Structure 1
Amino acid sequence: MSDSTPAPRLYAAREPIFPKRVSGKFRTLKWWIMLVTLGIYYLVPWIRWDRGEALPDQAVLLDLANRRFYFFWIEIWPHEFYFVAGLLIMAGLGLFLFTSALGRVWCGYACPQTVWTDLFIAVERWIEGDRNARLRLHRQKKWDFRKARLRVTKWTLWLLIGLATGGAWVFYFADAPTLARDLVTLNAHPVAYSTMAILTGTTFLFGGFAREQICNYACPWPRIQAAMMDEDTLTVGYRAWRGEPRKHRVPEGETQGDCIDCMACVNVCPAGIDIRDGQQLECITCALCIDACDDIMAKIGKPRGLIDYMALTDEEAERSGKAPKPIWSHVLRTRTVLYTVLWALVGFGLVFALFIRSDVELTVAPVRNPTFVTLSDGSVRNTYDVRLRNKTAEAQTMRLTVKGDSSIRLQLEGTAYQSIAVPADATFLQRVYLVAPSGAAPTERASTDVRIWVEALGGGDRAYRDTTFNGRNLQ
């Protein structure tokens, strides 16, 4: 290769994609999903929920300062993180289930990147016009007043959407009305401003400029989805046996397919691919190409469904002239049933654990230095740090007792009684002594199993923890 020969490029520059407006049942479904998901995201922090004077009145709140997660009537404590882990497992199984049955239906309809990109494209189309107008503006190299005005207007609205996105996110972590007032008056914590700035910037860049690049290069799911799909998975496909050969390529007098090569399916695709080339990593199965193609088929008097949701087994059947399988046979098969059963079992386990959990809990930590103390009267004393949890919205008086050996008595540090007041929705650390009367000489190897009980005198809830009493042979 001579010095004058340019070096080959290993990466092709991105060609901007300007999807054309399309109408149809799948586009309508995407609009409704966008409306519902964005409505939930932006409005949920403002829903109020009365939990009493001592607790926050925000329906959904991730209270990191006090280490609580509130979801309407449910309150998750730090030691109950298994509930969050269970929800994440359910989300993963749900993603596997939908992908196995319907391909990348999550990516095409409900993924945040898809939802916000759709919103940004809608704003772009509203300001700059449909596909051809946007293409002309993009290809216009010289900046004039009109191009600057359109671009600045579009970018301003994108930034406002990004700001609303970042603002809604921080409202999940603090009382929304209070935080909103602090943000406006510049009294909020710097973490709130920095979080909003990061989310505003990423939303602006990902939804406005990166778009399908995030799905193609940053998201791992396109690579993983192949393991979730099989020949019975319903996904968007092109009926080549019906559409080929395309009309403009066929010499006169030869057989012609239904596809007129109008490029409508390509022009509406947010990933910029041609579904007629077969399944591709970039396809998010948003089905907008189905709407576009059905519209063209209706105009030229051909049957709809040239591009449709279908499975590989349908292709084999239709090519041989047989009727495809019914939809339910694609959805209800061994893999999807297994995912559904696993998903339901995890959900049932979480609901069961939620309903059987007690409002009163305790943990017992023996003080090991020293393991035991021999008092002046010959009795042996063990020390324990007992952490009491009151999960109710009212203060509770809790009584502690010990079971295991009738000679061992329980004492609370700082009080002559065996009961203690624990504030509402709080933990209380109490030092507890177990004392055994004088008897056999203490030995470090001798120990007795005991059980410490706690009972809420107001509500009647009880809980216990097993531990050991060291330093005296009680046989």
Structure 2
Amino acid sequence: MKGVPATASGRYRRIKTGLACLLLGWFFLVPFLRWDRGPDLPGQAILFDLPGRRLFLFGWEFWPQDLPIAVGLLVGAASLLFYATALAGRVWCGFACPQTVWTDLFFAVDRFCEHRRIPPVLVKIAIALLTGFGFACWFTDAPTLAGRLLGGSAAPGSYGAVLIIGGLTWLLGVYAKQRVCLHMCPWPRFQAALLDRDSQVVTYQAWRGESRGRKRIPLREDLGGEPGGTRGDCIDCTRCVAVCPTLIDIRDGLQMGCIGCGLCVDACDTVMDKIGRPKGLIRFDSETNANAKSWTKTLPRPFAAKPMLFLSVAVLALGAALFAMLTLSPLRADLDPQRNPLFVRLSDGGIRNDFLLHIQARQPGLSTLRLRLAEGEAGLLRLASSGDHIGAETVDVTLDQRELRERLLITRPAGADAKGRSPLHLLVQDARDGRLLGTVETQFWGPES
């Protein structure tokens, strides 16, 4: 079929198929995993809650303030990608890139429908829309989304996600195909800086394959053929070109268009088996070993200087992100001073500051909190909404749907040191057991003299 690579069978084809099934299964099925967080909270294991500006990841809940964790994860993931590229070329592109996975899926549809009375365009439209639906499932309750979409009660964003992502899937997977890898994706332009002569890349062993010729031409004597033979192991069958998703000829050398999928390796090994020649005419190998004309391939060098540099950065970034995730505060508390006026002098000589208190709890079990000042800091606390006009050393507050917004009044009595600006530490405790949940640092303002 025109524009569709021929099928190949072998080790790398099995790896590609198995990995594609895992990735597609992850994309479509993980949003349906359940995670019990208690009442009034989503029961989806992984959910990007855009209206609430939250990310639920199993037992974690992330807020916009946790962006440094996302940065650490992204830096770690990018460093792992650099590490894999330095070791084995564009294996990400060939085996795990979404463009490769979905394009390979559409190629499989073309081959399946070729000799059957099934219009491939209908199957591709269904896959594209299903991809849009799968994407939308990450941002809303997945089990009920299909019913809401069909019933017209889904949010406009859900319909937009299905149509936009479905349209992009159709455009990139059905029409653009390998042009994305050749012309649109910036990653091939970076790989030259990551590779070296010892990186494992798809390599044509020209010393063994040239000169090319039909099988009936005598094989070269140094390859075990007859004296006076002129043909190398390559019989110019072009199977390596026929199975290539980007339609390049690997025999022309390493090229930007090679995505490192290894399908040409499988195709060539199959041909070598048929003509009784050793496998490995095309193989994952280093440039150094190929130039040495060795029959045995080299192994990857995971502890070489360049790969180890990328791995070290990945370990540090991911380790820092994991540590931050494991030590996340169970709540977020902000205490914003109200500046108009900076302070109020009371009739008894005390100095009062007004603050806007905002508390958000990550844990659903937190409902009643206790507020007090740190040891050694004099002051009385009271909520503006309470009927208490005196205040107390501790104040209990109740969260409404894990959140509280209140005016907090803090008064330092007459005789306490309240001149100028001084540090203030508000302790937030669990009212049930007194466990310290967080400390808020701010400034207390008083008269200069």
Same fold per superposition (TM over 0.5): yes
Structure-1 residue corresponding to 2:193: 227
Aligned equivalents of 1:225, 1:59: Cα separation in 2: 36
Deviation at 1:357, TM superposition (A): 2.2
1:447 lines up with 2:421 in the alignment: yes
Alignment of 1:30-429 (within 5 A): 30-129=16-115, 153-248=119-214, 253-318=228-293, 326-328=298-300, 330-403=301-374, 406-415=377-386, 416=388, 418-423=395-400, 426-429=402-405
| 1:252-294 deviation digits (Å, cap 9, x = unpaired) | 7442210000111011111111000001111101110000000
* Maintained 8 Å contact 2:366/2:430: no
Question: What CA RMSD, in Å, does the superposition of the two structures yield over aligned residues?
Answer: 2.3
Contact persistence 1:409–1:436 (CA under 8 A): yes
Q: Under a length normalisation based on structure 2, what TM-score does the superposition of the two structures give?
A: 0.91
Maintained 8 Å contact 1:394/1:423: no
Contact 1:17 1:271 in 2 (8 A): no
1:250 CA displacement: 11
Q: Which moved more, 1:93-102 or 1:447-456?
A: 447-456
How far 1:470 moved relative to its partner? 1.0
The separation in 1 between residues aligned to 2:113 and 2:311, in whole angstroms, is 44
Higher mean C-alpha displacement, 71-80 vs 245-254:
245-254
Q: Deviations over 1:294-315 (max 9, x none)?
A: 0000110110000000111112
Contact 1:60 1:70 in 2 (8 A): yes
Which residue is equivalent to 1:139?
Answer: none
Gaps of 5+ in 1: 1-14, 130-145
The CA distance in 2 between the partners of 1:441 and 1:226, in whole Å, is: 65
Q: What's the counterpart of residue 407 of structure 2?
A: 431
- For 1:457, which of 420, 431, 434 is the aligned residue? 431
SS in 2 for 1:303: coil
Tell me how far 1:107 sits from its aligned partner.
0.3
Deviations 1:78-99 (A, max 9, x none): 2112222222112211111111
Q: Which amino acid aligns with 2:355?
A: Y
Residues in 1 aligned to 2:431 and 2:351: alpha-carbon distance in whole angstroms: 30
Stretches of structure 2 that go unaligned for 5 or more consecutive residues are 219-227
Matches of 1:27 and 1:339, distance apart in 2: 28
Return the letter of the residue paired with 1:267. A
- In 2, are the aligned partners of 1:265 and 1:292 still within 8 Å (CA)? yes
SS in 1 for 2:292: helix
Q: Please list the CA deviations of residues 408-434 of structure 1 after superposition, one character each: whole Å capped at 9, or x if unmatched.
A: 32222223461101245x331221112
How far does residue 73 in structure 1 lie from its aligned partner after superposition? 1.6
Partner residue in 2 for 1:9? none
Q: Secondary structure at the match of 1:207?
A: helix
CA contact (8 A) 1:367 1:385 kept: yes
CA contact (8 A) 1:380 1:437 kept: yes
What is the count of residue pairs matched by the alignment? 433
Alignment CA distance shift 1:257-1:450 (3 Å) = same
Partners of 1:456 and 1:440 lie apart in 2 by 28
Instruction: Tell me if structure 1 keeps the 8 A contact 2:212–2:236.
Output: yes
Q: Is the Cα contact below 8 Å between 1:452 and 1:464 reproduced in 2?
A: yes
Q: 1:93-137 CA distances to partner (integer Å, 9 max, x unpaired)? A: 1111111111000000000000001110000001115xxxxxxxx
- Shift of the 440–118 alpha-carbon distance from structure 1 to 2, 3 Å rule, reads closer
Amino acid at match of 1:282: G
Q: After superposition, give the CA deviation of every residue in 1:291-341 in whole Å (9 maximum; x if it has no partner).
A: 0000000110110000000111112322xxx6767414x332111122222
SS in structure 2 at match of 1:247: coil
Please name the residue that 1:470 is paired with.
445
Q: State how far apart, in whole Å, the 2-side matches of 1:57 and 1:353 are.
A: 24
Q: CA deviation at 1:439?
A: 5.2
Aligned partner of residue 339 in structure 1, secondary structure: helix
CA–CA distance in 2 between the matches of 1:108 and 1:34?
11
Distance in structure 2 (CA, Å) of the matches to 1:277 and 1:171: 44
Distance in 1 (CA, whole Å) between partners of 2:50 and 2:169 is: 24
What code does the residue aligned with 1:316 have?
N
Tell me, yes or no, if the aligned pair for 1:389 and 1:427 is still in contact at 8 Å: yes
Q: Contact 2:357–2:405 (CA<8 Å) still a contact in 1? A: yes
Report the identity percentage. 39
Alpha-carbon distance in structure 1 between the residues aligned to 2:443 and 2:375: 10
Deviation at 1:441, TM superposition (A): 11
